[in-house]
Amino acid sequence: MATPAPHPHPTRPDEAEAPARVTCGHHGCETICADCAVRSLSVCSALEPGELAHFARLSQSIHYPARATLIAQDEPAQHIYNLTAGVVRLYRLLADGRRQIVGFALPGDFLGLAMAKTNTFSADAVGPVAACRFTREGFGQYLEEKPHLLRRLHELATHELTLAQDQMVLLGRRTAEEKVAAFLIATRDRWARINGAHLHVPLPMSRQDIGDFLGLTVETVSRMMTRLARDKIIVIVPDGVRILDEARLEALCAV
Amino acid sequence: MATPAPHPHPTRPDEAEAPARVTCGHHGCETICADCAVRSLSVCSALEPGELAHFARLSQSIHYPARATLIAQDEPAQHIYNLTAGVVRLYRLLADGRRQIVGFALPGDFLGLAMAKTNTFSADAVGPVAACRFTREGFGQYLEEKPHLLRRLHELATHELTLAQDQMVLLGRRTAEEKVAAFLIATRDRWARINGAHLHVPLPMSRQDIGDFLGLTVETVSRMMTRLARDKIIVIVPDGVRILDEARLEALCAV
DNA sequence: CGTACCCTTGATTAATCTCAAACGTAGTGG
DNA sequence: CCACTACGTTTGAGATTAATCAAGGGTACG
């Protein structure tokens, strides 16, 4: 279990603030959304083509460098984001520096579902990231007029809640090996929705990040990865892992 | 960490099925809702007095004995509930019997926020329970006409999500002692919303339940309770604990 | 009054963390 | 272009937390 000893995490919410580069201001031209690779996965799928044009005008297409902070815990929530490329880690910090990553956002994911005035977690870019950014106010006003968008938001929120419950089972009742196996399977499945099914699972986040997500130390994550590789269940490749034996990996998850 | 050894849990979703006793069929008389102690805390707070009468007609006031199953994981979701008295545990089981309690529902809490066709968790009564029960279909139809009710539901869902993230921090990054301390503080605060602030914290659930919620064994929960009592931070009383030193207990939570 | 269940306590074991060090890779600057 | 540095990863040895195994005590209920 975690000890009170502080983690020396490089990424505190105050550092590495985003020198956010705005690509095109409002992206009023509908073609941008029309071309969006993740539209069918995101909130936008709730909108008609006509609505989409109006909706797009509320947002900015924006790029962030690695480690940029999109959301800072306990700060006023100014923006909400629809992630279009890259990976974002969502986390909470304890006073002594212990960190729990509560999720990784992948392309198509929505940040700020709660529409709350104050952020309940921090979020920063694992690598370079692209997103559609809305002001909370602007999005909120649009939401007033569009009950079906609210319904979609609620759908996404309850899906998140189910994922959170999955994670509670993992954190509370699985062994280190099961945690890592379940993480790889879940990550494979999430990428599959975006890119289609592959045996290659991209892991742009560090071992430390994975550990802070699974309630483990870096060393334990590394050891379990090594063990899975030794047992010929996966191969560790530069930017992630390749699954060699799906059946055995799934069996290790102990669903 | 949890081991693969099966828990011999007495409460499987198939046993102890509710011989649900319906008190008054539809409780069409508005006075029942008007008198409801938890109305201001529940979904119902989103409704006008006139709407409430119609809403009430959709529901049944219903009582369950201890250990009755309200919701069974992976079964079709037929009902949703608004808990009015008693405590319900929400949980998931792994194939080998390991259990993770994902939450305790207290009076005023809503079960079935997701409005999903299939249940993603099981829920059973810790002790005798009273609830307003709706059919999922009936509630869903009413929801179509009432965007402000949907907004309230979304508010509740995102609040649940925040609680789930709190719990992830607890499960992943807190020590056994911190877990128990944080559980007592959180439970105190939840009862405070219902009954007002007290140093007495009711704990109707068993030590096993608490362990399955905190990712600990019964023995560890018991030992930590004993330790807190030895240190004069709490006293263990028949149906829960009494907090003697709020400041020290809060300090142990490591927020 | 007995039985069952829950809670507590003790002794031991096992899983994971901590501490330490070596390794690899990527980026930097001479 | 290469050496150097910084950072992330891996591996090993030992410490520590919490789990497991085992047993005793209390309480409620039949």
Question: What letter would DSSP give residue A146?
Answer: -
Mean predicted confidence (pLDDT) in B38-56: 90
In the sheet where A88-93 sits, what is the strand order? A69-71, A122-125, A88-93, A99-105
Bridge partners (DSSP) listed for residue A60: A26, A133
pLDDT score of B26: 56
| B172: nearest CA partner in chain A | A215
Q: Do B161 and A96 touch (CB under 8 A)?
A: no
Q: How far is B168 from chain A (nearest CA, A)?
A: 6
Q: How far apart are CA A108 and CA A193, in angstroms?
A: 10
A1 CB below 7 A from strand C atoms: yes
Q: How far apart are CA B248 and CA B228, in angstroms?
A: 10
Q: How far apart are CA B207 and CA B216, in angstroms?
A: 10
Q: Do B162 and A1 touch (CB under 8 A)?
A: no
Q: pTM score, two decimals?
A: 0.92
Residue A222 parent element (H or E): helix A218-230
Question: What letter would DSSP give residue A247?
Answer: H
Which single residue is written with the structure tokens 């950014």? A133
Q: What is the DSSP string of chain B?
A: ---SSPP--S--TTSSB--PEEEEEE---HHHHHT-TTGGGSGGGGS-HHHHHHHHHTEEEEEE-TT-EEE-TTSB--EEEEEEES-EEEEEE-TTS-EEEEEEE-TT-EE-TT--SB-SSEEEESS-EEEEEEEHHHHHHHHHH-HHHHHHHHHHHHHHHHHHHHHHHHHHH--HHHHHHHHHHHHHHHHHHHH---SEEE--S-HHHHHHHHT--HHHHHHHHHHHHHTTSEEEETTEEEES-HHHHHHHT--
pLDDT score of A53: 87
Mean predicted confidence (pLDDT) in B199-227: 98
Task: Inform me whether the pLDDT recorded for B135 exceeds 60.
Answer: yes
Write out which nucleotides of chain C lie closer than 7 A to a protein Cβ: 5-11, 15-20, 26
Q: How far is A21 from chain B (nearest CA, A)?
A: 30
Residue among A162, A163, A159 nearest A213 (CA): A163
Most confident of the ranges A34-38, B46-50, B94-98? B94-98
**What are B182-197's pLDDT values in tens digits?**
999 999 999 999 999 9
Residue among A106, A155, A110, A156 nearest A136 (CA): A110
Per-residue pLDDT band at B12 (split at 50, 70, 90): very low
Residue A241 parent element (H or E): strand A240-243
Domains of chain A, earliest start first: 21-165 (2.60.120.10), 174-252 (1.10.10.10)
Task: Inform me whether the pLDDT recorded for A206 exceeds 50.
Answer: yes
Q: What are phi and psi of A98, to 5 degrees?
A: -60, 140
Bridge partners (DSSP) listed for residue A91: A101, A122
CB-defined contacts A:B, below 8 A: 129
Looking at A76-148, which runs of residues are DSSP E strands? Answer: 79-85, 88-93, 99-105, 110-111, 122-125, 129-135
Q: Which of A6-15, B67-76, B120-129 has the lowest mean pLDDT?
A: A6-15
Interface of B with A (CB under 8 A): 1-4, 92, 94-96, 98-100, 102, 113-116, 120-121, 147, 150-151, 153-154, 157-158, 160-162, 164-165, 167-169, 171-176, 212-215, 254-255
Bridge partners (DSSP) listed for residue A134: A59, A80
Q: How far is A248 from chain B (nearest CA, A)?
A: 16
Q: How far apart are CA A22 and CA B199, in angstroms?
A: 53
Give the residue with minimal CA–C1' separation from D11. Answer: A223
Per-residue pLDDT band at B153 (split at 50, 70, 90): very high
Angle (CA) A120 B169 B216, round 5°: 150
Query: What burial class does residue A141 get, using C-beta atoms within 10 Å of its C-beta: 0-12 exposed, 13-18 middle, 19+ buried?
Result: exposed
Q: How far apart are CA A134 and CA A55, in angstroms?
A: 10
Protein-to-nucleotide distance from the CA of A219 to the C1' of C22, whole angstroms: 14
A5 CB below 7 A from strand C atoms: yes
Q: Which of A24-38, A98-112, A198-212, B198-212 has the lowest mean pLDDT?
A: A24-38
Q: How far apart are CA A13 and CA A122, in angstroms?
A: 7
Mean predicted confidence (pLDDT) in A231-239: 96
Protein-to-nucleotide distance from the CA of A63 to the C1' of D4, whole angstroms: 33
**What are A133-190's pLDDT values in tens digits?**
999 999 999 999 999 999 999 999 999 999 999 999 999 999 999 999 999 999 999 9
**What are B50-99's pLDDT values in tens digits?**
898 888 899 999 999 999 999 999 999 999 999 999 999 999 999 999 99
Q: Which of A16-30, A136-150, A208-222, B160-174 has the lowest mean pLDDT?
A: A16-30
Which single residue is written with the structure tokens 């999430």? A190
Residue among A137, A142, A133, A138 nearest A25 (CA): A133
Protein-to-nucleotide distance from the CA of B248 to the C1' of D7, whole angstroms: 39
pLDDT score of B138: 96
Residue among B104, B114, B191, B103 nearest B158 (CA): B114
Q: How far apart are CA B164 and CA B103, in angstroms?
A: 8
Protein-to-nucleotide distance from the CA of B239 to the C1' of D28, whole angstroms: 14
Which single residue is written with the structure tokens 């925040």? B162
Q: How do the residues of chain A divide into helix, strand and coil, expressed in percent and rounded to 5?
A: 40, 25, 35
Q: How far apart are CA B97 and CA B7, in angstroms?
A: 5
Look up residue B171 and give its amino acid: L
Per the structure block, which two tokens stand in for A118? 């104050």
Query: What burial class does residue B196 get, using C-beta atoms within 10 Å of its C-beta: 0-12 exposed, 13-18 middle, 19+ buried?
Result: exposed
Task: Inform me whether the pLDDT recorded for B229 exceeds 80.
Answer: yes
| Mean pLDDT of chain A, nearest integer | 89
pLDDT score of A50: 87
Share of chain A above pLDDT 70, in %: 88
**How many CB atoms are closer than 10 A to CB B175?**
15
Q: Do A2 and B172 touch (CB under 8 A)?
A: yes
The answer to whether A213 and A173 have CB atoms below 8 angstroms apart is no
Task: Inform me whether the pLDDT recorded for A8 exceeds 50.
Answer: no
Give strand letter and number of the nucleotide nearest A2 (CA to C1').
C17
Look up residue B43 and give its amino acid: V
- Residue of A1, A115, A221 to mutate for B, most B C-beta atoms under 10 A: A1
